[in-house]
Chain A
Amino acid sequence: MFLRIIQDIALMSSVGVVLAFVMVIAQRWLSNYGELTININSKKDLTVTGGSSLLSSLGEKQIFIPSACGGRGSCGACKCKVNEGGGPLLPTEKPYLSKSEIDGNVRLACQVKVKSDIKIEIPDSIFNIRRFHSEIVEIIDYTYDIKGITFKLLNGETIDFKAGQYVQLETQPYAKVKQSVMRAYSISSKPEINDSIQLIIRLVPEGICTTWVHNHLKQGDKVNFTGPYGDFYLRDTDADILFVAGGSGKAPIKSMLEHLKVVGTQRKMSYFFGARTTKDLYLTEEMQSYEKHFQDFHYIPVLSHPEADDNWEGRTGFVMPYFKEAIRDPKNTEAYLCGSPGMIAGVTKSLVEDYGLSADKIYYDSFG
């Protein structure tokens, strides 16, 4: 009886093994696309092994297209132009692309598989993106839910970025989270420091990366990130500047202000910082010191829900009505916004419709 059971199990398993073996052979033979060429911007040719996604094929060659979900097709960040050899547009890409993007050959690099020679177009700034190894050297508690973390680059590497750009942190598996994810955070330190970066990270309840950063990372831990990404950076003009950012959105603004402090500026600047209560305010002294340092800079915190024991005498409610104090010449004002998609949509609408700023001078970084 016992022997019989063993024999049946063995037979059953051997059928599985034989089929698995056949599948492995078939995969080798059918999914082998050989060596293929990825042509970038009609300039550079890369030779890759076909069969995997464009995103990972480029990643192997140290070209990092921004991607927040790590290639699962759920963030829509890895857009790039595929002019030849990308195959038909997939249903998995459609929700992330606008009509004009589809007409302009824009695809999601994580969904396009490299099965033939392929021609793509990517912005030159992407070549500057690299993967960095770093060690945490400092963790500061700015508020009850916001930390500032400084990452020192290892192996003598240096990073070259513009004030306002962001990096993607790679999480490592912890507790019950088995997979590794990538999450974007703006650099809050100035570009003049190129052997380390600081990120400002607010704890999001249930957030995979922020929970990891807040509850599991400590000084001396090794962390990898890629970057720098993004076109949210300070434009070099003489226009007045309006910064609007709350919470951890202060990170890129801090970087811009520190950078301006180094290079010097005559521009008229105002920074509106939206928060709920006084508990959410941070780096206030640093901001006030800028008011003395710069010729014309105002830091204007606005609380939406001040509590009775806050004894808050400053401005309250939404930030929008207070812009009139700061905007002198709407046609000569640039706005830099950083925050939630809702906040950015609301502020942009108000700036254009109520204050007459031109939409192409409003730059923003939206937390997706």
Chain B
Amino acid sequence: MDISAFVLFWAAIFTSNILLTNFLGMCSYLSVSREIDSAMGLGLAVIFVLTITSALNWVVYHYLLVPFGIVYLQYIIFIVVIAAFVQFLELLIERYAPALYYSLGIFLPLITVNCAILGVSLFMVIRSYSFIQSVAFGAGSGIGWLLAILMLAGLRRKLKEKLIPIGLRGAGISLIITGIMALGFIGFSGIVQVQ
């Protein structure tokens, strides 16, 4: 792949937004988008985790999995690296940003099983990105995820006063909104293609 890392970074935010085009990371997206503050906190944590774990997993993949021929173990190893890093991040946030720690609550450890995180590590392997490309793609995907959850949180705040059919309240209307947002993001797709 010879796309520049800079292009990849912007592409990850807009044209191939991890959430709106691949629909990865939906569970925390739907449940933490009730308030803008916690959505922002979780989004920043996801950016951080995505950037660092894509770098870590790139190193692990190219210097451990490939040389020793254990690429078939990539799923397990990637998840273990992500889990350890999230645990580390949890300690860090608990120590230095207790307010954020309490507002994220259970969703912080749940970043471990956020599909977007593993998804980025796997895309990076499938699309044979270089180290710089991987980091740019990870950071871009994180920002894209933050953008998507912030938009949904903003919209959901407005929805509170609106009359919505009972059956659609909560996750139902959020998924419809997400679908419309995804359609809107197709508008970016002419700019650059990375798939």
Contacts and interface: CB of A to CB of B under 8 A. Distances in A.
A30 B80 contact: no
B171 interface: no
What's the interface size class on B, roughly? Answer: 20 to 34
A91 B107 CA distance: 14
Contacts, number: 45
A8 B73 contact: yes
Nearest to B87: A23
Interface of B: 60, 64, 68, 70, 73, 76-77, 80-81, 84, 87-88, 91-92, 94-95, 98-99, 102, 105
Chain B binding surface SS class: helix
B68 A16 contact: no
A7 B76 CA distance: 16
Given A7-B68, A26-B91, A27-B91, 10 more contacts: A8-B70, A11-B73, A12-B73, A15-B64, A15-B81, A19-B81, A22-B88, A26-B88, A30-B94, A30-B95
B104 to A, nearest CB: 11
Contact of B98 (A15, A26, A115): A115
A11 B66 CA distance: 12
A90 interface: yes
What's the interface size class on A, roughly? Answer: 10 to 19
Contacts of B94: 30
Interface in A71-106: 87-88, 90-91
A87 B81 CA distance: 31
18 contacts: A8-B68, A8-B73, A11-B73, A12-B70, A12-B76, A15-B81, A16-B80, A19-B80, A20-B84, A23-B84, A23-B87, A30-B91, A31-B95, A87-B98, A88-B102, A90-B102, A91-B102, A91-B105
B99 A88 contact: yes
Contacts of A11: 64, 68, 70, 73
A7 B65 CA distance: 12
Nearest to A88: B102
Contacts of A12: 70, 73, 76-77
A88 B105 CA distance: 13
A214 to B, nearest CB: 38
Contacts of B80: 15-16, 19
User: Which among B64, B68, B88 has the highest number of chain A CB atoms within 10 Å?
Assistant: B88
